[in-house]
Every structure is written in structure tokens, then in C-alpha cells.
Amino acid sequence: MIKTTLTKTLLTSASLLILGCSYTAKTNNSTKQLPTNTTAQTTPVNKTQNTSQLTMAINSPLRSDKNKNRDQYRHPEQTLAFFDIQPDMTVVEVSPGGGWYTEILAPYLQTSGQFYAAHFPENAKSKYYQKNLKKFKLKMQSNPAYQNVNITEFAADRDYDIAPTGTADRVLTFRNLHNWYMQKNTQGLQQAFKTFYRALKPGGILGIVDHQLPEDRDQETWIKSGYLKQSIAIEFATQAGFQLVGISDINSNPKDTADHENGVWSLPPSQRGGNKELLKIGESNRFTLKFIKPIN
């Protein structure tokens, strides 16, 4: 039976409710109406929603101390609870990079679920892509906890099957949309969301986290900054057929102005430029969005 029950979140006085109306977003200095047919909520997530299995995976010695130290900025427990990741689900992580979230998801899903890591294509021409894919594969061979990880391929410039069509309960991607937009502009985002939609079951959830550009800025002017407007993510997701069902401030950081000499990479963990004053900010301000693939 397809799982369609969404996590119920607690409303705060700052909650944003969109009830059977349209979402108004400003994109490139113009206002667009983005249709939504469901309720969207902006709210923190109750930690009690997390299962003991998820907590164990997050605290596992499989994870490096370096990665655990970033939990204060990336909030994996709250984020995965918001996306309602259960241990018996089929989950796809798109562009997992070095495996920060894979260290959590692989053991969490190992016994009862299925996990797909959609990484760079085998035939990628970029040496950077080749190097990172090789490193990821070696990581997956380093511990039995990764033995059930299915490595598939993804790129925003063409059609790939990140999982068998219509089989995924969840598709997740963390801090990647801005790259696809920078590299392929609107075409990259259109292809990405098309791929996500095809992989998900009806009623399946798409979870997205990315560096957030303030809505009053022109995206094209800031395209190389590594930041992306939340409204753009919502626009392309809804164009692909998704419905917005949740907005969370789990990964927000009001200290981040999104205005740095070397873009988002000025901040930790990259610290490009070496400005130690930026350490006071911490990691970037990020939006966290939850979409559903409609059943009908």
C-alpha cells in the first residue's frame, strides 16, 4: 500500500498557511502565481517525531567526527523527521557528494528499506566528477553498513533513471539545486524535477534543502553566489507536477546575509578567502521544502 500520510507539524504564531490558494513568488523581479492545492506550513519540527533507529544512525560510530560536528548546522535528525523518512522506505538521495547524509541513511534503511545514491554518471567527462564518484564508491566498499546501497546515475543535463520508475517513497537532495541552476539554468532544474517526479510513487515525498537567496534580490545577478531563491525551487517543482506541503525553518540561519565575496563558499565548511570573522556566522541560511507527488 502506498504510504500517503504526511508528518503532522506543530503550528506556531509565525506559521504560513496556504489554503487552497496560489503561492505568490517573486522571481527575477517579476511576480508569478504558483498553484498549490494543499496546506503548506512553516514550522519547526518536534524532535519526538524521530524514531530511536534514526537517532542511533545519527549517533553511529560509522559517521566521522568531522561530519558529526556539522550536525549543529545541518540538523539531520529534525530534517529527516520533517521529511518523514521511515526505515522501511525506498529512498533516493540525489547527488550525495562525499556521503554526508549517506552515512546516516544507508544504515538506517539497511534492514527493512532500500537506498539509492544517484551520483555522477560513469561516463562523466569532468575529472572532478570522476574523482568524486570514485571516492564515493570506495567509501561504499569500506563498511558492511553500505553493502545494500544501490549507486545510480544523475546529471541535470539529461534523462537518467535514479531508481526504477514509480518505486521511491522519498527523493531527497541537499544543497544541489543551486549547482544545477548555475550550470544549466532553467533547463537543469526542469530536467531535475522531471527525473524526481518519475522516480517517486504517487503520494511520495520530495525533500529539498538549499542555500537561500533573499527574495528581493535578482537571481541572475547572484547566479554564481551559490544561493537560490526559495520561490524558484517552488516554481519549478510545481511546474513538474509537485504540490508544496511543507516549509520549515529547521535549517535557517538569520546571521547569514548571503552577501559574501566568495559567495556561499566564504562560509564554513569551505571558508574560501579565509575570513575568520565569517566563522561567527556559521554555515549558510537554508530553505527546507517538502513536496508531494499527487495520487491523482
Q: Express each pLDDT in 99-139 by its tens digit.
A: 999 999 999 999 999 999 999 999 999 999 999 999 999 99
| Summary mean pLDDT of the chain | 86
Q: Express each pLDDT in 252-264 by its tens digit.
A: 999 999 999 999 9
Predicted pLDDT at 22 = 37
The pTM (predicted TM-score) of the whole model is 0.84
Q: Using pLDDT thresholds of 50, 70 and 90, give the confidence band for residue 183.
A: confident
For domain 26-292, the CATH class is alpha beta
User: For every residue of the chain, which 3-state class applies, written as one string?
Assistant: CCCCCCCCCCCCCCCCCCCCCEEEEEECCEEEEEECCCCCCECCCCHHHCCHHHHHHHCCCCCCHHHHCCHHHHCHHHHHHHCCCCCCCEEEEECCCCCCCHHHHHHHHCCCCEEEEEECCCCCCCHHHHHHHHHHHHHHCCCHHHCCEEEEECCCCCCCCCCCCCCEEEEEEECCHHHHHHHHHHHHHHHHHHHHHHHEEEEEEEEEEEEEECCCCCCCCCHHHCCEEHHHHHHHHHHCCCEEEEEECCCCCCCCCCCCCCHHHHCCCCCCCCCHHHHHCCCCCEEEEEEECCCC
Lowest mean pLDDT among 64-73, 176-185, 222-231, 257-266: 176-185
Q: Using pLDDT thresholds of 50, 70 and 90, give the confidence band for residue 35.
A: very low
- Domain segments of the chain as ranges: 26-292
- What percentage of the chain carries pLDDT values higher than 90? 79
Predicted pLDDT at 13 = 31
Does residue 6 surpass a pLDDT of 60? no
Predicted pLDDT at 31 = 30
Does residue 28 surpass a pLDDT of 70? no
Lowest mean pLDDT among 25-34, 89-98, 137-146, 273-282: 25-34
Name the residue among 178, 212, 208, 183 with its Cα closest to residue 196.
208
Predicted pLDDT at 16 = 35
Residue range 240-261: average pLDDT?
98
Q: Express each pLDDT in 64-109 by its tens digit.
A: 999 999 999 999 999 999 999 999 999 999 999 999 999 999 999 9
Predicted pLDDT at 51 = 60
